[in-house]
Structure 1
Amino acid sequence: MSKISNFFKGGSSSSKSKHHRSRGTPSPQEAIHKLRETEEMLTKKQDYLEKRIEQELATAKKHGTKNKRAALAALKRKKRLEQQLTQIDGTLSTIEFQREALENSHTNTEVMKNMGYAAKAMKQVHENMDIDKIEDMMQDITEQQDVAQEISEAISRPFGETYDEDELMAELEELEQEALDEGMMSMGGLPSVPSGNLPSLRPGQRATTRRKVEEDDDMRMLASWGT
């Protein structure tokens, strides 16, 4: 009988292993999903145990010393429930740590995968680029910019001949001096009128001065007749 049972047990384990191999290794998403389901189940179990502990504590208080046997039995059940609750707390901490580590590993894997794709894309882009050709192109651009600058400077220069400004200023000063000399000659070399105010004359002095001017005019007239 034992051989038969062992035969069936062996067959059952073999079929299970084949079924597991057919499913293959679970993906990170599937493993994370299973861990979350386990966390949810254990959390519900925690709520249930906490309510049971409260009930057993209430039962112990209810019986008290009146019914020590029932009160002690309730306290023993409370202790067992508290032990289960402590175990679940530890299990939840372990599962949470495993889930976070798996999520981080999955994130890092996705990041590395995407970085690998980007590196391949960059490599493909750079395969069509030649650094020597790029440097030659940049040199050509610089040369063309210099040519454009020279063209702009040539266009902006004024037309016609250029003259020395110092020579033109010297010539202008000569013209001004000549104009000044001509003005003096046209005035007959007469002395310039004094700029200051003439002294005021009294009535007697004005009459004497007028007679002197008339005498001078008479003397000039006589001198002209003698000639």
Structure 2
Amino acid sequence: MKLFFGGNKANKATPKEAVVSLRENIAMLEKREAHLQSKMENEEKIARANVTKNKRVALAALKRKKILQEQLDKMMGSRMTIETQVMAIEAANINMETFTAMKLGTEAMKNIHKKLDIDKVEDTLDDMEEQMELANGVSEAISQPKLFGAELDEDELNAELEGLEQEELDKQLLNAEAAPVALPRVPAARVHNQQAVSSPVRQSAHNKEDEEDEDDELAELRESMGMAA
């Protein structure tokens, strides 16, 4: 029986296929409703046209309209039921997709947490902190200037620097003492007068020196001749 009536195919319909089929049914019902509505309007026109001329015809038209109205009401009820079913399927499909996504997310978290626990996290954080401290130490060591194979004595360098400074000061003092001193200009007449005043003194000193030289020569001559002074 299922082979002939396609029961297995209906049971295997996806939500999307079911919604498509139901919407096609809704479209067909809407067309049928429009057709019934048109026939009802036509029967009403017949009844109005014969209400005074032929009451039997008018009454028959109203009966047909009544039957059509009942069919229309049932059809509208069916369409409403199908539309409600479509909305329910769409909502269920959304819920199913949401559930599937949540399930996949949960499974992914489980797989992640199989390789991850709080102890491993703490150990990793400790290792990371240790490596950061090591990296900072390496960076600080590299940034310090080093003279490989030689250790510098700061006191010795300071003493040498002070010696160089003292030598430079001594040179500056020597240069200052050797610099010529500009004497004030003296009038020529004043210089001549000073020379005139100092000349007798210089002449007297010169004569005295000559006399002493003569006495010395005379003493040497007497001594060579064996004579007493």
CA–CA distance in 1 between the matches of 2:178 and 2:113? 90
Residue 148 of structure 2 is aligned to residue 156 of structure 1 = no
Residue 193 of structure 2 is aligned to residue 219 of structure 1 = yes
Residue 39 of structure 2 is aligned to residue 52 of structure 1 = yes
Letter paired with 1:219: N
- Give structure 1 stretches of 5+ with no counterpart: 1-14, 194-209
Q: CA deviation at 1:218?
A: 1.5
CA–CA distance in 2 between the matches of 1:84 and 1:74? 15
| Deviation by residue 1:17-72 (Cα, 9 ceiling, x = unmatched) | xx99x86x946737645643542342232122122123223333444533333233
Change (3 A) 1:31 1:222: same
Residue in 1 that maps onto 2:131? 144
Residue in 1 that maps onto 2:105? 118
- Give structure 2 stretches of 5+ with no counterpart: 203-229
Larger radius of gyration: 2
CA–CA distance in 1 between the matches of 2:154 and 2:81? 96
After superposition, residues 1-227 of structure 1 pair within 5 angstroms as 26=11, 29=15, 32=19, 35-63=22-50, 65-160=52-147, 161=152, 171=162, 178=170, 180-188=172-180, 213-222=187-196, 225=199, 226-227=201-202
When normalised by structure 1's length, the TM-score is 0.61
CA–CA distance in 1 between the matches of 2:178 and 2:119? 83
CA–CA distance in 1 between the matches of 2:47 and 2:171? 136
Q: State how many pairs are aligned.
A: 189
Secondary structure of the residue aligned to 2:123 is helix
